[in-house]
Amino acid sequence: MNKSNIPTPDFSLFYQKTNITADLEPYLLSISYTDYLEGQSDELSLEFTDPDGKWIRSWFPTQGDKLSLSLGYKGSPLVNLGDFEIDEIEYLYPSSQIHIRALSTGISKSYRTLKPKAYENTTLAQVVATIAKRMKLKVIGQIKPIPIVRVTQYQERDLEFLTRLARTYHHSFKIVGEQLVFTDKATFIERQSVLTLEPEQIKTIRLRDRIRDTVKKVNVSGFDSNGKKVLKQSKEASIQRQTIQQAAISNGDTLNITTRGESQEQINAMTDAALAQQNEDRQAGTITLLGDPKLVAGNTLRLRKLGVFSGKYLITSSRHHLTRSSGFTTEIEVRMLEFIPDNIVEEKTSQPKNVKEIIKQTPHQPKTYQQTMSALINLVGEKANAN
C-alpha cells in the first residue's frame, strides 16, 4: 500500500466539556477504549509522559471529573465513544508517566444502594421501566412480553437485580450514559452487519470451535401455584453448520432445571437462557485489525473466505488502542451467530435495508455509539411491532 494512502489516526478528548486535544497531544503515549456487551462498565485508559511535572501539579485531574473521547481518522468524521468519569490516577517514576483510568458515566452511587422490593402482577418490561425511572434513565431495547406474578429484589442493588433478571430471561443489560439498554438476546442475529471482513483485511485472527463441555438439550419445568399445573419446555442445541459434516456434540448431556414457573413465557425464556449460557460461545474467538471505531460491542460483522468459520458474528467486547508507535488498532471478541457459506452473498436478516443509513457517520449528522444503538434497536422494535 502506498504510504500516502494510509489513513492517519485522529482523536479528540474533552475534559469537563473543554477540548484539550491540542494541549495533550505532545504528551500522549496511548489511548485505550474497551467496551463490553454486558456485565461491565466501558473503560477508558490514557497514558501520558510528564517530563515537566505538570500532571502532578497544575494539571492533576480530580476523580469524578468527566472525559469525552472520539476516535477515527483525519479527513473523516470522528466517532464519539461516550462520556467517562475519572476513576483512578497513577504516577510512575523514573519514567515520569501518568496513567488515567476512567469508567463510562451512568453508574451513580444511588444505583448501588441495597433495595428490598417486591414487584407483583407485572411484566418484565414494566419492572425494567420502573427501575429505569428510579434511576432517571431511558430504557432502550426490545424486551420479551413476559408476565411476572411476583419477583422480589432481595436486598440487591438495582444493578445486581437487573443483571439477575437479564440472565434469567435471556436478555442483555447495560447502562450507557443516560440509557438503560435491556434487550432480548435472540434479536442480535437480526442486526445488519456493520462490516464484512476477509483474511487479507485482518492482522490476526484466532477462532475456536468447542465441542466438549457443551449441552445437547435443556429441560426446564416449573410449578404454577396459581394455575396448579406444571409448565414445561425443552430445547435442543441447534447445529450451526447444517450443510457441513462435522463432529457431533461429544458431551451429549441433558440439563434438567426445576424452578418456579408462573407462566409458559417465563419457562420458555428460562430455557433459552440456560441453553445459551452453556453453548453460546461454542464458536468464538478474537480478531485484531486496523482501527475501526464502529466495531463496538453489540454490533455484528460477517467473516468470509474462512471455510467453516465463515458467517455472522456478534461483537461481545472491543478494545480500541491508539499509540504513537503502532498507530490505531482494534481487537474484538466475537462469537458466531450464524454460519454463512462463502457462496451466499446476502446474509439473512429481518431488518430493512436502510439500517446502513443509521450506522453511517456523516459530517453533518455525527452519531454517538449510544445514539446509533438506540436508533438501531428502536428500528428493530418497530419492525417487530409492524409484523
Give the model confidence (pLDDT) of 243-270 as tens digits.
555 555 445 688 887 887 788 888 888 8
Q: What CATH topology corresponds to 7-104?
A: Phage tail proteins - horseshoe like beta roll fold (2.30.300)
Collect all residues with Cβ–Cβ distance below 8 Å to 227 and sequence separation of at least 6: none
The residue-averaged pLDDT of 92-100 equals 95
- Summarize pLDDT for 188-202 with one digit per residue, the tens: 999 999 999 999 999
User: Residue 167 pLDDT > 70, yes or no?
Assistant: yes
- Longest Cα–Cα distance in the chain: 75
The residue-averaged pLDDT of 210-217 equals 73
Across 37-41, 347-351, 353-357, the highest mean pLDDT is recorded for 37-41
pTM for the model stands at: 0.80
Which amino acid, 386? A
The pLDDT value recorded for residue 263 is 83
User: Could you tell me the residue ranges of all domains in the chain?
Assistant: 7-104, 215-279
Axis-axis angle for helices 264-279, 158-168 (nearest 10) = 90
Least confident of 94-98, 145-149, 244-248: 244-248
